[in-house]
Structure 1
């Protein structure tokens, strides 16, 4: 948030589900860096990320995608998917510092001809979609990004309008997963509240700086996708969550 003096003192805090809250946590470097730090990842989280990357590579090949577009890219894990598949990559993140760091990595690795970056909001795909490469891109929503958004439906409807193939990775609603998430989030921030019942059959955590993360039960997620006009083409799961390949129904 911005503002100084009397103006800042009299402004009311944003609603916990507002875009301002999302921006405050992920646009600022401290919150995003804390939640994405490798030092904070429990072993179980690493297996979830491994599943996600393998599912993304498999989908890129099977669906004959000609680019990989990673939303909420931060340090660009899906860049390795694009490199292995031999297709262009575009990393999109609301955090300008993360995008700058990823751009530096791209330059250091000599990938300027293959990879690019954009500062953009996953919920506002219409604003940046014309700048991404490929005619049949794989759009990756990694690491429970869908559950971090104030309005998952809005993001999915925007991606449906773009066409192409979408890979979505989310945490499930199982008690073990909720316990792993609690331990992980507690390492990353102060003020972590006990989980509450979410909108999609899972548990929602809230913490400092407006942090919010919600998990999904399979029936609720499948229903949400149908309501947004998306059909599931393939699905991979482990004990923490699932990665789903979806496209326009």
Structure 2
């Protein structure tokens, strides 16, 4: 317990020291807030503008969560199809790679034009970014099952479903969870990038639009407050998915057992 507490304490101490140095530098050098605001001004902007930033945070997190869910469903299903048929994998994998390496900022304007609903367009853009890590990691995990155990399953007359359920899926779970942690952050990035491209305001607008709006108004403390919320959302998503991974693997997988020690 003490080692785990120390693991959380050290980053907190470093962060507080960095914030203190930042605050001191702003005050000593008398840097105006429209260039770089002090942490105290950012905190004040968070409290003052929470009625604006809170709904924007919820909208961005909702887009990221829904796109991640779609990536899990789509990527996991396609990975199962790839594992069942190498011919299908060879046929479709190049297109999945093309989808991954194409910058979302380049295709987002087209998606926003083609899709009438702005929220749906944002979901598609975020899904494109989050999809490939789930697909590639899960496919790798399904193909990494022990071949000797596979031969043993065949020797005992196990069906393909039994082999999938009791051998290949457990072998793929750590890979899937690793891809899930990566895709969680990418889904948030995709949602923010798509919001920047869309530039849509109104009630259904996220933190990216609030950053743009703050820049137009030279309200730099609010801009930093929105950036802080994006960073906090990313940390929360990663911590949640890392906790889920530990919960599912802690009793049997080496990566989690070593941490328990």
Q: What is the TM-score when the length of structure 2 is the normalising length?
A: 0.24
Question: Radius of gyration: which is bigger?
Answer: 2
Question: Could you say which structure has the higher helix fraction?
Answer: 2
Q: Which has the higher contact order (CA 8 A, sep 6+)?
A: 2
Q: What is the TM-score when the length of structure 1 is the normalising length?
A: 0.25
Question: Could you say which structure has the higher strand fraction?
Answer: 1
